[in-house]
Amino acid sequence: MKNKFTLIALLLAMTTSLYAQNKAIDPVNLDQKVDPGKNFYLYANGGWLENNPIPDDKSRFGSFDLLADSARKQVRELIKKTAGKDHKQGTVAQKIGDFYSSGMDIEARNKNGLKPLKDELKAIEKAGDNQEIMKVITDMQKNGLYPLFTLYGTADAKNSEMVRTHLFQGGLGLPNRDYYTDTDERTKEIRKKYVEHISKMFRLTGEKEADADKIAQKILGLETRLAKASMTPLELRDPHKRYNKMDLAKLRETSPEIDWKAYFETLGLGDPEVIIVGQPDFFAEISTMMKEVPASEWKNYLKWDLLNSCASYLSEDFEEQNFAFYGKTLTGKQKNQPLWKRVQGTTSGAMSEALGKLYVQEYFPKEAKERMLELVNNLKVALGERIDNADWMSDETKKKAHEKLSTMNVKIGYPDKWRDYSNLEIKKQAYVENVMSARAFNRQFNLQKINKPVDKAEWHMPPQMVNAYYSPSMNEIVFPAAILQPPFFFMDADDAVNYGAIGVVIGHEMTHGFDDKGRQYDKDGNLQDWWTKEDAEKFDTRAQVLVKQFNEFIVLDTMHADGQLSLGENIADLGGLNIALTAFNKTEQSKSNEEIAGFTPLQRFFLAYAHIWAQNIRDKEIVKRTREDVHSLGKFRVIGPLRNMPEFHAAFNITEEDYMYLPEDKRAMIW
Ligand SMILES: [Zn+2]
């Protein structure tokens, strides 16, 4: 039986690989009527864009999202095997199964309504004064909610070996502070709709319309005060601004109206000794607000925070209202995802590594890891050479850059050590209760790390996630199993395709160690300057070229891209392309000019890159991402960097007259 199964698997694997070879660059995805010199993004992706309209339940749909969907289907198969069956109490299968089933039981959810939250609501209602309000906030935070601000344990940016207590701004129902302060028509409309949404949510709890409207207005007022004291998305990218180390005495001085001693004790931290405060002004403001805002207003704010964070796990009326604002109004989605996707997403978030372990057992081939390691090593060599050849950099800084590159750690596929879920309690109970239980468990997991050495084996993304990251404090690049699939990674395609797709992704993550933010961390992951003053200035001048280029792009109507906010990502895209190309130029294939499916190796390299950023996107999502997301839109991730690359110009015969061409003195060149 087992042999037969293996044989079928092998046959399947063979067919997939043949498919990959043929379809790695599929002419169907291109639009060869478009001049590649005018708009290479459309030339490379026009067919794909035409054939892959945005589904109603999405605000953006790209080849990235298509792969994420297929990973979700894989996870669905895993869940199906466990849900609805009897498992021994306390096993991972029982927990995944019961969690998922409780979410899918929409009848029970509708019958329960708000009932499962009655204890939490009562606790808020009972608070008599602001001291008691602060106690409720503390308890909510202990259980994994984040009203008012955030506390978490993570590596100390200046002592990367140790996990320390971090306090960070938070408490907003809209995505960031700009939504409360901007005065353009679009934002004003969103604020108006936000107030209506809060009011409707309160009405669902039984509040009268007139009262609910007043409550909602007050909540917007309170959140606006928080917003005004918060840092902008751009300020948040500055690791020095966010690093304000304090002890308990200093924190009390900054924020005197809050009983921090009681707060930390309730969280089980005692005196944390080292507290890194992200935004001292924010914590000063919440202290003042604790003096000025009456308890009655805080109560409504906390109720709102509770409702807002639980809406997706309650009855359908709450979930639908929540979607009407956060899905439709903010991102332009037409309808909500089907129930199974919503519940699966939550299950996956609650028990990410438990599902991840099952995922890699089923779907991740060992050979993929070996192939990836080979690619990563080739890219490391390529970046090393590029550092040597950077004529603008002094030998002194180059030496440090080499040290940082050679100590950069690599993780591929899945963690060597899996997380232990034995203390997580999931039962046949209301969905929202299971969600709360998982939140409290994950919260505890984070809190217990504080004031201990950093666990270097830990992963910050689960294997089933289509993504990758660079961690500055660990100086490491991480590639979860799910990204090692087409269109990023083809087990059997030609090198040009793999270097152009996953190769650039690897190079992108490596470059994050040397982008405008990452370069401020040394080889050990400490926020410590290792650049000569002159080299740092030269770096900034070069980076500004890229800022200017991106600022000129128009994303929608008259709205421009934000070159400063997206700088780190744009440096990483351009660096990733250059590094992957340098590595590709060492392969056998690069030396031949043999065409596959009508394209030269270099053309295939650039087409494979362009293809990973094919995406259709709704207008509202364009606006939202441009103001919050540090990544540029897919279109500009292709057009932006490629205009700077002479190898690209040569590959597609692009000349000075073409838009995709930038003259040498206008080009950005960093890594
Ligand atoms: Zn990135």
**Range scoring the smallest mean pLDDT among 61-75, 76-90, 104-118:** 76-90
Q: 519 near 539, Cβ under 8 Å?
A: yes
Q: What local confidence, expressed as pLDDT, does residue 329 receive?
A: 96
- The DSSP bridge partners found for residue 477 are 410, 470
- The DSSP bridge partners found for residue 166 are 152, 276
Distance between Cα 568 and ligand 1 center (Å) = 7
What is the Cα–Cα distance from 459 to 416, expressed in whole angstroms?
A: 10
**Which residue do the tokens 């070159």 mark?**
563
Distance between Cα 477 and ligand 1 center (Å) = 11
Q: 582 near 386, Cβ under 8 Å?
A: yes
Distance between Cα 461 and ligand 1 center (Å) = 14
Task: Give the model's confidence band at 47: pLDDT under 50 very low, under 70 low, under 90 confident, else very high.
Answer: very high
Query: Rounded to an integer, what is the distance from CA 487 to the centroid of its chain?
Result: 20
Mean pLDDT value across the chain: 94
Question: In terms of Cα–Cα distance, which of 440, 424, 444, 434 is closest to 140?
Answer: 440
What is the Cα–Cα distance from 550 to 563, expressed in whole angstroms?
A: 5
User: Residue 5: CB partners within 8 Å, gap ≥ 6?
Assistant: none
Task: Give the model's confidence band at 231: pLDDT under 50 very low, under 70 low, under 90 confident, else very high.
Answer: very high
Question: In terms of Cα–Cα distance, which of 305, 266, 294, 324 is closest to 117?
Answer: 305
Domains in the chain with CATH codes: 13-73+352-666 (3.40.390.10), 119-193+211-293 (1.10.1380.10)
18 pLDDT above the threshold of 90:
no
Q: What is the mean pLDDT of residues 311-329?
A: 98
Which DSSP symbol is given to 521? B
- pTM reported for the whole predicted model: 0.92
Q: What local confidence, expressed as pLDDT, does residue 179 receive?
A: 97
Q: What are phi and psi of 527, to 5 degrees?
A: -75, 90
Structure tokens at 291: 């003096």
Distance between Cα 637 and ligand 1 center (Å) = 11
Distance between Cα 640 and ligand 1 center (Å) = 15
Distance between Cα 412 and ligand 1 center (Å) = 17
What is the Cα–Cα distance from 413 to 580, expressed in whole angstroms?
A: 20
Three-state SS at 462: coil
Structure tokens at 404: 């940082």
Q: What local confidence, expressed as pLDDT, does residue 285 receive?
A: 98
Whole-angstrom CA distances from 625 to 54, 59, 335, 405, 559 are: 16, 11, 20, 31, 12
Residue type for position 391: D
Distance between Cα 149 and ligand 1 center (Å) = 26
Distance between Cα 428 and ligand 1 center (Å) = 40
Distance between Cα 643 and ligand 1 center (Å) = 19
Query: Rounded to an integer, what is the distance from CA 282 to the centroid of its chain?
Result: 24
pLDDT, tens only, 446-471: 999 999 999 999 999 999 999 999 99
Three-state SS at 486: coil
Which DSSP symbol is given to 630? S
Number of helices (H), then strands (E), belonging to the chain: the values are 31, 11
What is the Cα–Cα distance from 439 to 456, expressed in whole angstroms?
A: 23
- The DSSP bridge partners found for residue 275 are 165, 246
What is the Cα–Cα distance from 265 to 560, expressed in whole angstroms?
A: 47
**Which residue do the tokens 């015969």 mark?**
653
Structure tokens at 596: 């596959």
pLDDT, tens only, 510-550: 999 999 999 999 999 999 999 999 999 999 999 999 999 99
Residue 487, preceding peptide bond in cis (omega within 30° of 0): yes
What is the Cα–Cα distance from 323 to 253, expressed in whole angstroms?
A: 41
Which DSSP symbol is given to 55? P
Structure tokens at 481: 């199993």
20 pLDDT above the threshold of 60:
no
Distance between Cα 569 and ligand 1 center (Å) = 5
What is the Cα–Cα distance from 200 to 517, expressed in whole angstroms?
A: 42
Listed ranges 2-11, 72-81, 552-561; the one with the highest mean pLDDT: 552-561
Neighbour count for residue 609 (Cβ, 10 Å)? 28
Whole-angstrom CA distances from 329 to 332, 424, 559, 582, 592 are: 6, 36, 19, 45, 52
Mode of pairing for the β-strands spanning 275-277 and 159-169: parallel
What is the Cα–Cα distance from 642 to 663, expressed in whole angstroms?
A: 12
Q: What local confidence, expressed as pLDDT, does residue 241 receive?
A: 96
Which DSSP symbol is given to 36? T
Distance between Cα 570 and ligand 1 center (Å) = 8
Distance between Cα 511 and ligand 1 center (Å) = 9
User: Residue 527: CB partners within 8 Å, gap ≥ 6?
Assistant: 157, 158, 239, 240, 243, 520, 521
What is the Cα–Cα distance from 151 to 350, expressed in whole angstroms?
A: 19
DSSP track, 39-51: -HHHHHHHHHHHH
650 pLDDT above the threshold of 80:
yes
First to last CA, the chain: 53
Three-state SS at 32: coil
What is the Cα–Cα distance from 28 to 44, expressed in whole angstroms?
A: 10
Q: What is the mean pLDDT of residues 316-330?
A: 97
Distance between Cα 564 and ligand 1 center (Å) = 14
Task: Give the model's confidence band at 7: pLDDT under 50 very low, under 70 low, under 90 confident, else very high.
Answer: very low
Q: What local confidence, expressed as pLDDT, does residue 85 receive?
A: 80
**Which residue do the tokens 């991402």 mark?**
625
Q: What local confidence, expressed as pLDDT, does residue 589 receive?
A: 96
Q: What local confidence, expressed as pLDDT, does residue 365 receive?
A: 86
Q: 125 near 299, Cβ under 8 Å?
A: yes
44 pLDDT above the threshold of 90:
yes
Helices (H), 531-600: 533-551, 567-584, 588-591
Structure tokens at 523: 């080889």
Please state, for a pLDDT cut of 90, what percent of the chain lies above it.
Answer: 94
What is the Cα–Cα distance from 565 to 106, expressed in whole angstroms?
A: 41
Q: What local confidence, expressed as pLDDT, does residue 517 receive?
A: 95
Distance between Cα 533 and ligand 1 center (Å) = 26
Distance between Cα 508 and ligand 1 center (Å) = 6
Q: What local confidence, expressed as pLDDT, does residue 83 receive?
A: 80
Distance between Cα 381 and ligand 1 center (Å) = 20
Structure tokens at 125: 């209602």
Task: Label residues 141-173 b or e (16+ Cβ within 10 Å = b).
Answer: bbebbbbbbebebbbbbbbbebbbbbbbbbbbb
What is the Cα–Cα distance from 117 to 136, expressed in whole angstroms?
A: 14
379 pLDDT above the threshold of 60:
yes
Question: In terms of Cα–Cα distance, which of 667, 318, 375, 661 is closest to 507?
Answer: 375
C-alpha gyration radius of the chain: 26
